[in-house]
Structure 1
Amino acid sequence: MLSAQIESILFVTNRPLSVKKIAETVGADRTEVSKALDEIAAAYNTEGRGVRLLRHGDDVQLSTAPEASALVQAYLKDETTGELTKPSLETLTIVAYRGPVSKAELEQIRGVNCSLILRNLMMRGLVESVGEVGKPETRYRVTMDFLRFLGVAGVEELPDYEKLRSHENIVRVLAMANTPPAVNAASVEEPAPVAANAATAADGTR
């Protein structure tokens, strides 16, 4: 069902999507997508629902209901001030050593969806999205705040940067980024030193 496909895409995406982009993704025309969005809006934009479908021009995005904003803000405060989870540390490590890296490449390395983790890291100010010439997809890199927390002038000063950035396992997995199935994260040796440092850095954001 088209509306279910679109709903799934909007759920895992942490940014607005254009109707054109959605149509290209699901292989439908704009009229069909607009009709499906109307169905999703009718289901969500009613009293008593905690999620809304926002539409601004050609862009659409799922968002929490305004009446739940206080609760959501309180929850997010806890999420962005507590210690980083192991999956977050793993993702942050990959971004630090391989960035700028796309979400698809991250997920190919880790073998799981990274949308929520990326959103959390961005909210903490540790990761930011960037655009690169010739690469249409959004890519991610660590922020200046991340470097400041670790006390380094650039990612090149991270422990064993050159060795770990070009690690043969990671290079091999990235070469398969567009080839299913996803590689099991256990098959990739991830650099541990910066993960521990990142945890310490995250504590400094509290």
Structure 2
Amino acid sequence: QSIKDFSPAKCGVEMTKGNCLLVFRQSSKKIMGSIKSKIESLLFISAKPMTVKQLANLIKSEAKEIQVAGDELIEDYKAKLGGIQVIKEGVKYQMVSAPTNARLIQGFIKDETTGELTRPSLEALTIIAYRGPISKINLDRIRGVNCALILRNLLLRGLIEAKNDKKKGETYYTVSLDFIRFLGINDIKDLPEYERLHQDDTLDKMLKEAEVMAVDN
């Protein structure tokens, strides 16, 4: 639902102009709150900035409403004085850590990018290697968890690459050339049993079942 869908006629002829205005304001506030909530969720799971157009298409709202809600969200986070902020650069919004915690975050990232890969990261990297190019949504469905932080870590390490498919509006991930060189092979197809695992329909069946469940819910 969009704010533009509201019509004073829906208030009813028995209502006064003042009451009708109050209903409109309450309805607008509720709709805007819903849009802000959706923007917040999308920014949280996204590993990169999202444009107004992307958010509008996903939320099914007008671009102007996205901008208003996005700007309000920025002010909301500023008022909280917490460890997370929402920033805006041009027409892009992104959820980031607070500048006051920059040194702490830099130390954490250094440890994350120089230490050994965790088991979840290795699992995600293996799936990307054998099933790439793969979207984040499908990777999430295969692993059963949100892989945003794992993807970010693998990108920082230079182990994977992200490519945006403008037609589908999705980002697809593949292993990087550096990762292939690190393994000592010339092509990703040189991985053990690559052809069999790359074409294995088990994961495809899992994805189709997950899509059906998502539609039913």
**TM beyond 0.5:** yes
After TM superposition, the runs of 4+ consecutive aligned structure 1 residues lying more than 6 A away are none
Alignment of 1:34-53 (within 5 A): 34-46=67-79, 48-53=81-86
In the alignment, structure 1 residue 114 sits paired with structure 2 residue 151: no
Q: How far does the alpha carbon of each residue in 1:135-177 deviate from its partner, in whole angstroms, 9 at most, with x for none?
A: 4311000001111111111111101111111123123224456
In the alignment, structure 1 residue 55 sits paired with structure 2 residue 55: no
Q: Which amino acid aligns with 2:144?
A: G
Compute the displacement of 1:6 (Å). Answer: 1.0
Tell whether the 8 Å contact from 1:16 to 1:59 is kept in structure 2 after alignment: yes
Q: How many angstroms apart in 2 are the aligned matches of 1:160 and 1:8?
A: 38
Compute the displacement of 1:90 (Å). Answer: 1.1
Q: Which amino acid aligns with 1:179?
A: V
Identify which range, 47-56 or 71-80, moves more after superposition.
Answer: 47-56
2:16 is matched with which residue? Answer: none
Structure having the higher helix fraction is 2
2:43 is matched with which residue? Answer: 10
Q: How far does the alpha carbon of each residue in 1:63-89 deviate from its partner, in whole angstroms, 9 at most, with x for none?
A: 122222111100111111222112111
| Contiguous gaps of at least 5 residues in structure 2 | 1-33
TM-score calculated relative to the size of structure 2: 0.77
Q: How many angstroms apart in 2 are the aligned matches of 1:157 and 1:135?
A: 29
2:29 is matched with which residue? Answer: none
2:186 is matched with which residue? Answer: 153
Q: How many angstroms apart in 2 are the aligned matches of 1:57 and 1:166?
A: 42
In the alignment, structure 1 residue 140 sits paired with structure 2 residue 161: no
Q: 2:121 aligns with which of 88, 95, 99?
A: 88
Residues 156/108 of structure 1: CA separation in 2 closer, same or farther (3 Å cut):
same
2:30 is matched with which residue? Answer: none
Q: How many angstroms apart in 2 are the aligned matches of 1:65 and 1:134?
A: 34
| Contiguous gaps of at least 5 residues in structure 1 | 183-206
Q: Which amino acid aligns with 1:31?
A: K
1:192 is matched with which residue? Answer: none
Compute the displacement of 1:62 (Å). Answer: 1.1
In the alignment, structure 1 residue 32 sits paired with structure 2 residue 101: no
Higher CA-based Rg: 2
Local SS of the residue matching 1:6: helix
TM-score calculated relative to the size of structure 1: 0.81
Q: How many angstroms apart in 2 are the aligned matches of 1:135 and 1:7?
A: 22
